[in-house]
Chains A and B, each alone.
Chain A
Amino acid sequence: MNMGPQHPSTHGVLSLELRLDGEIVKECTPHIGYLHRSIEKIAENRTYTQFIPYTDRLDYVASMNNNLGYVMAVEKMLNLEVSQRAQYIRVIVAELNRIASHLIAVGTFAQDLGAFATPLFYCFREREKVIDIFDQICGNRLTYNYMRIGGVQFDFPEGISEKIKDFVKYMRPKVDDYDQLLTHNAIFLARSKNIGVLPKELAISYSVTGPNLRASGVKWDLRKDEPYLVYDKFEFDIPVGENGDSWDRYKMRIEEIRQSLRIVEQAIDALPQGEPTVKVGRILKPSSSGTYFRTENPRGELGFYIVGDGSAYPYRLKIRAPSFSNLAVIPELVKGSKIADLVCVFGSFDVLMGEIDR
């Protein structure tokens, strides 16, 4: 049976070739590439600044984090240190975007389990608040293109700090609502507990990252383990799962929303004054025989491997997309389960075709 590329729960244009025995999945082969835009080839023909809008289109629900990963990789090539204020701003917007992205993950997961649209609408309602904030900060609602090499595009506008603080206050009870509506719901538990159990060793071997890895019980978060920006100045916990089942993966996202709210709250209180941007030349010509930089994206570790030959264009730019590795493990997990479980496992991994196909 062909599941996708046009199917309600393949999160984009993934095609799964299934061999079924009644309802039982015997074999699952993903076919990807329907959204392939050869962004890596395009990168070789764009200047370093021109490529920033393209990173928006990788993981289109967490554009800020993609922007951040890319500009930080270029800054690493240039050995550029950005100002404190820019670093704080980056942390705030990245964490807000993480919340927005996890909200979509939670909503679509509930949708996949058949909770008809209601949790999804609640999540979108809350996400709208984040988007409104971003709209004020950077002028766009989905493809932000906010980060710049050497800082951020605009400084925070007037009154945005209060708005973010209001959002944090607004968001906390909503997360509790999700707990009531979904997390401890008996049907939800029955559907997702012990489904698609991903053992620790398998997760590491498949290079699964992000919340999916932490759900398997590995305490590994780049924000704590290889702190970039000013993440080491904040107090936050890393939620770790126990079984590595679908419910744990979902739970990680709910908990990370809570932790991100904590980070945002601390960062907005400690936001220092200063210039948000370091002046860099209009045309950058960094050179490197290979620079790799990875950041913690909502979906896992996003890495940029950039080779520069001293010209205005990158010689080679490789995007290590977290969903790409996360997808690889799914066929192994769904063998022998039912179609309904396949949808559940797939939803819990929260893969996004935009960055898999690039």
Chain B
Amino acid sequence: MINYPKNFIIGAWSLIKGLAVTLKYFFKPVVTLQYPDEKLSMNDSYRGLVGLNPEKCIVCNQCVKICPTACLAIASRQEDKKKTLETFKYNMELCCFCGLCQQVCPTGAIIMTNIYEISVYDRKKFDIDLLNVKKYDEWTDTTVK
């Protein structure tokens, strides 16, 4: 019988302590960012969209081989002992951003940029020709102007 009011008071006290926690955070500064106005800056190691440095590429096909989802495709032509790139297709829809291509590249030609706003209005845009895309900033549709 004595336990009944005792438990009741303990329970009520525990509820008040819970309220105290939420009230404490009510007056703490917020931790979120107002996304399109304030943006999180990704550090350089962030694995965003794949980018290419065409001058460095030696067309060794390592990146194409390692890619688990087969999203890269290279075409090249032979020009007096030296291969030159003709196309470097990158299918963003398949890409899983694992970073294996960047890791495997012997010359550092293929890099992962720190762009994370990767939604576009047209699906065809995901088929990216890495030789022609100069700046991804213009490619993405997400950025609120």
Residues of A within 8 A of B (CB): 46, 49-54, 56, 118, 122, 125, 128, 135-136, 138-140, 143, 145, 153-154, 157, 177, 180-182, 184-187, 189, 282
Q: Which of A125, A143, A180 has the most CB of B within 10 A?
A: A180
Complex interface: stretch among B73-81, B93-101, B129-137: B93-101
Chain B residues within 8 Å of A187, by CB: 15
Knowing A51-B68, A186-B15 are in contact, say whether A143-B96 is a contact too (CB < 8 A).
yes
14 additional contacts (CB under 8 A) given A49-B100, A140-B99: A50-B66, A50-B68, A51-B68, A52-B98, A53-B100, A139-B46, A139-B99, A140-B97, A145-B98, A181-B18, A181-B21, A185-B18, A186-B10, A189-B11
Proximity string of chain B (62-102) to chain A, C-beta cutoff 8 Å, 1 when within and 0 when not: 00001110000000000000000000000000001111100
Q: Is the CB of A184 within 8 A of B47?
A: no
Residue in B closest to A178 when the chains form the complex, CB atoms: B21
Which B residues are closer than 8 A to A by beta carbons? 10-12, 14-15, 17-18, 20-22, 25, 31, 42-43, 45-47, 66-68, 96-100, 103-104, 112
Closest A residue, CB atoms, query B62: A282
Q: Inside 8 A of B97's CB, which chain A residues have their CB?
A: 140, 143
Residue of B nearest to A148 (CB): B103
In the bound complex, residues from chain B placing their C-beta under 8 Å from that of A122 are: 25
Task: Give me 25 A-to-B residue pairs in the complex whose CB atoms sit less than 8 angstroms apart, sorted by A's number.
Answer: A49-B66, A49-B100, A50-B67, A52-B98, A53-B100, A56-B98, A128-B31, A138-B45, A139-B99, A139-B112, A140-B46, A143-B96, A145-B99, A153-B103, A177-B21, A180-B20, A180-B21, A182-B18, A184-B17, A185-B14, A185-B15, A186-B14, A186-B15, A187-B15, A189-B11
Tell me whether A140 and B47 are in contact in the complex, defined as CB-CB below 8 angstroms, given that A53-B96, A54-B68, A186-B15 are known contacts: yes
CB distance from A48 to the nearest CB of B (A): 11
Set of chain B residues within 8 Å of A136, measured between Cβ atoms: 43, 45
Q: With A139-B45, A140-B46, A186-B11 in contact, is A53–B98 under 8 Å at CB?
A: yes
Complex CA–CA separation, A56 to B20 (angstroms): 39
Name the 8 nearest CB pairs between A and B, nearest first.
A186-B11, A53-B98, A50-B68, A139-B45, A139-B47, A181-B21, A145-B98, A180-B17
Q: What's the nearest-Cβ distance from chain B to residue A57, in Å?
A: 8
The reply to whether B15 and A125 contact each other, CB–CB distance below 8 Å, is: no
Contacts of A140 in B (CB 8 A): 46-47, 97, 99
Contacts of B11 in A (CB 8 A): 186, 189
Q: Say yes or no: A184-B14 contact (C-beta < 8 A), given A53-B96, A136-B45, A154-B45.
A: yes
Q: Indicate if the CB atoms of A50 and B100 lie closer than 8 Å.
A: yes
The answer to whether A181 touches B22, judged by C-beta atoms less than 8 angstroms apart, is yes
- Whole-angstrom distance from the CB of B32 to the nearest CB of chain A? 9
Complex contact B45–A180 (CB within 8 A): no
Which residues from B are CB-within-8-Å of A56? 98
In the bound complex, residues from chain A placing their C-beta under 8 Å from that of B22 are 118, 181
CB distance from B67 to the nearest CB of A (A): 8
Q: Measured between alpha carbons, how far is A295 from B42 in the docked complex, in Å? A: 32
Q: How far does the Cβ of B102 sit from chain A's closest Cβ, in whole Å?
A: 9
CB-based nearest B residue for A129: B31
A189 CA to B43 CA in the complex, in Å?
Answer: 43
Using CB atoms, name the residue of chain A closest to B19. Answer: A181
- Residues of chain A within 8 A (CB-CB) of B67 are 50
B77 to nearest A CB, angstroms? 26
The CA-CA distance from A187 to B100 in the complex, in Å, is 49
Question: Counting chain A CB atoms within 10 Å of each CB, which of B11, B46, B98 scores highest?
Answer: B98
Min Cβ gap B31→A in Å is 5
Looking at A49, A139, A154, the one whose CB has the most chain B CB atoms below 10 A away is A139
Q: Give the Cβ gap from A175 to chain B, nearest Cβ, in Å.
A: 12
- Cα distance A140–B10 when bound, in Å? 45
**CA distance in complex: A282, B62 (Å):** 10
Q: Which residues of A contact B46 (CB under 8 A)?
A: 135, 139-140
Please give me the residue from chain A that is nearest to B31 by CB atom: A125
**Cα(A51)–Cα(B66), bound, Å:** 10
